[in-house]
């Protein structure tokens, strides 16, 4: 079965958003070592069911949370 395995979200103020998620849900964040500011979100114990994600600076006022779904490479999908 294919399931959501990662989420990506943006915020006008990532620091404020991360503080919210830290205080309310006890999420942890780690700065990504890449070409732009991005923080990886660890939402719980990796041994338990759940998904992790990331947060970035919002660059588009219409941006939404994006979910990534794990799909097996052998899945046969017809395009219509």
Assigned domain for 74 exists: no
Domain count, the chain: 1
Pairing between β-strand 4-11 and β-strand 52-57 as defined by DSSP bridges:
parallel
Task: Give the CATH number of the domain where residue 14 resides.
Answer: 3.10.180.10
Q: What is the mean pLDDT of residues 40-54?
A: 92
Domain span including residue 15: 4-59
Assigned domain for 80 exists: no
Report the SS3 class of residue 32. coil
Q: What is the mean pLDDT of residues 20-48?
A: 95
pTM of the model: 0.79
Residue 44 scores a pLDDT above 70: yes
Assigned domain for 76 exists: no
pLDDT band at 37 (very low <50, low <70, confident <90, very high): very high
CA gap 17, 20 in Å, rounded: 5
Report the pLDDT value the prediction gives residue 80, as an integer from 0 to 100. 57
Assigned domain for 40 exists: yes
Assigned domain for 72 exists: no
């Amino acid at each position: 079965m294919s399931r959501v395995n990662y989420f990506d979200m943006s915020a006008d103020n990532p620091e404020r958003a991360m503080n919210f998620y830290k205080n309310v849900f006890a999420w942890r964040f780690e700065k990504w070592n890449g070409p732009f500011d991005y923080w990886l979100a660890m939402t719980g114990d990796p041994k338990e069911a759940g998904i992790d994600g990331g947060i970035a600076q919002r660059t588009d006022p219409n941006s939404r949370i994006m979910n990534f779904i794990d799909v097996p490479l052998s899945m046969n999908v017809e395009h219509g």
